[in-house]
Amino acid sequence: MSRVYNFSAGPAVLPEEVLKQAAAEMLDYNGSGMSINEMSHRSKTFDKVIETAEQDIRDLMNIPDNYKVLFLQGGASQQFAAVPMNLMQNKKAAYIVTGQWAKKALAEAKKYGDAIEVASSADKTFSYIPDCSDLAIPEDADYVYICENNTIYGTKFKKLPNTKGHILVSDVSSCFLSEPVNVNDYGVIYGGVQKNVGPAGLVISIIREDLIRDDVPDFVPTMLKWKTQADNGSLYNTPNCWAIYMCGLVFKWLKEQGGLSEMQKRNEEKAALLYNFLDNSKLFKGTVRAEDRSLMNVPFVTGSDELDAKFVAEATANGLVSLKGHRTVGGMRASIYNAMPKEGVQKLVDFMESFEKANS
């Protein structure tokens, strides 16, 4: 067996310890004589899995009691629709557009109400986070929406927008559990877990209780009504049992590693390794304004499509894989999530150094 250093943006690298534990438990989960994949979601054994997972993410993120944690299907993209369906009382919302994912969320919200763009960084290919200290947010907006870490462009909100008293909804898919957050700053935090937490097919939504309402429009599908899911402990129908179990293992792993402050420390160290190299390189350069750089997704280019392609191919041959940039941006992107060890980033930097020597 030979594992590579996997820089994929998602689905992405998972902690090796977690994969080994899942493999060891595959045929017989905890003495049940069956796999978690073969078990009723209404069994006592699975109850314990989902309850423990919820408690562990509550501990990790310090989630207040007046927030619900929902384990849902349909990915982050399904929440693009669920958010306006559940929150648009006045049929008005303010979106800050910092990349493709926010753009898609805005387009989806427009189907259900008056969703307006109040800030954007499209003018410079989403390479920065706009100033959000004094936005023209309509008085009667139901919420302000951000994509907190922009997976494709590699930017991150270092400071949350001034919402002027409106609730904040944040898509944290690619920075989920990468650092401590103050849950009270948000009305809704949600993320697809396949970036920084677990396998594909699960989105976790953390929602302030008073925002989970019964009086949503009639057209809202039962499954997309947060109240349905909250009232049924995410077990209204069959959930993604496997992904919930895997996330549970990752939560335990995160706790053993020292929790989210420790993750932040490691993520800052890893990102600094790469950004410092980029800042001093004559061949490679980062594409994001320095103060808005993501700790998770690091896009970079050589300036030549040909050299970019050569770099990706040679890196792959050296066990450094999935470094090709998003199809809409080109160049390279290294996603260095929680489970990417520092040695992986060091190897990448060493390889970039030798590539630079050989090609200048």
Residues that bind ligand PLP (CB under 6 A): 10, 75-77, 101, 147, 151, 171, 173-174, 192, 195
Could you give the CA distance from residue 100 to residue 232 in angstroms, rounded to a whole number?
Answer: 33
Query: Is residue 104 classed exposed, middle or buried when 0-12, 13-18 and 19+ CB atoms within 10 A define those classes?
Result: middle
In terms of DSSP H, where are the helices of 180-225? none
Distance separating alpha carbons of residues 13 and 297, to the nearest angstrom: 13
Of 350, 341, 321, nearest to 9 by C-alpha is 321
For this structure, is 68 an active site residue? no
Looking at 101, 270, 292, 324, which residue is catalytic?
101
Give CA–CA dist 312/320, Å, rounded: 9
Amino acid occupying residue 182:
N
Tokens matching residue 45: 């054994």
Which of 195, 225, 270, 324 does the annotation list as catalytic?
Answer: 195
Catalytic residue among 92, 142, 156, 171: 171
Q: Are 197 and 53 in contact (CB under 8 A)?
A: no
Q: Which residue has the tokens 């050296």?
A: 318
Angle at 96 between CA 92 and CA 101, to 5 degrees: 105
| Pairwise CA distance, residues 277 & 299, whole Å | 13
Question: What minimum distance in Å lies between the beta carbon of 151 and ligand PLP?
Answer: 3
The nearest distance, CB 275 to ligand PLP, in angstroms, is: 20
Q: How far apart are CA 147 and CA 151, in angstroms?
A: 9
CB of 72 to ligand PLP, least distance (A): 10
Question: Is 142 tagged catalytic?
Answer: no
Q: What is the rounded distance in angstroms from the CA atom of residue 18 to the CA atom of residue 249?
A: 6
> Cα 256–261–266 angle (5° rounding)?
85
CB of 150 to ligand PLP, least distance (A): 7
Smallest distance, ligand PLP to C-beta of residue 29, A: 26
Q: Is 279 a catalytic residue?
A: no
Instruction: Tell me whether residue 109 or residue 283 sits nearer to ligand PLP (CB atom).
Output: 109
Least distance to ligand PLP, CB of residue 101, Å: 4
Distance CA 353, CA 298 (A): 16
By C-beta, is 63 or 197 nearer to ligand PLP?
197
Catalytic residues: 101, 171, 195
